[in-house]
């Protein structure tokens, strides 16, 4: 009887924890929207991050180790994708690309230090992508050898 009562009380505490987390999440999001220094896109990204951390907080302890292991396994691969996304959407990189693909503009303006830095970033990103693909292929190969991937 005492154990059952303890479970009921802990469920109430869990519910209160969820409610408090939702209120906190909404408060942070409202503050981001009201802050003129935070763009709409930044507010959406912050909401997504906060929602992810809030959801992670509700994972029971026994599963947390497995989740952390998967995050650590996939984080480097996801960072490569995020880096590529940032490179493609950066105005400086777009300017350098347009300069390199337009011969008359390239001859007229020449390459600046910023352009050379951007090209260096592209080379690093390309080699990072190659390494990520090799790593993913190796993971799949070993998983199939163990019989954990069909």
Q: What is the pLDDT of residue 5?
A: 47
For the segment 27-56, what is each residue's pLDDT rounded down to a tens digit? 888 888 888 888 888 888 888 888 887 777
- Of 83 and 114, more confident: 114
pTM of the full predicted structure? 0.41
Residue 150 scores a pLDDT above 60: no
Could you please report the per-residue DSSP string of the chain? -HHHHHHHHHHHHHHHHHHHHHHHHHHHHHHHHH-TTS-HHHHHHHHHHHHHHHHHHTS-HHHHHHHHHHHHHHHHHHHHHHHHHHHHT-HHHHHHHHHHT-HHHHHHH---HHHHHHHHHHHHHHHHHHHHHHHHHHHHHHHHHHT---
């Amino acid at each position: 009887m005492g154990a059952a009562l303890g479970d009921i009380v802990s469920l109430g505490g869990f519910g209160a924890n969820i409610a408090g987390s939702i209120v906190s999440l909404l408060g942070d999001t409202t503050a981001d929207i009201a802050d003129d220094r935070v763009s709409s896109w930044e507010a959406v990204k912050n909401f997504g991050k906060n929602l992810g951390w809030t959801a992670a907080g509700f994972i029971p302890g026994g599963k947390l180790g497995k989740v952390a292991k998967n995050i650590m396994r996939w984080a480097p691969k996801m960072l490569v994708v995020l880096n590529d996304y940032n490179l493609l959407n950066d105005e400086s990189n777009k300017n350098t690309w347009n300069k390199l693909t337009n011969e008359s503009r390239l001859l007229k303006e020449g390459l600046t230090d910023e352009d050379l830095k951007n090209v260096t970033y592209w080379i690093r990103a390309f080699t990072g992508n190659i390494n990520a693909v090799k790593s993913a292929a190796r993971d799949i190969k070993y998983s199939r050898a163990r019989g954990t991937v069909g």
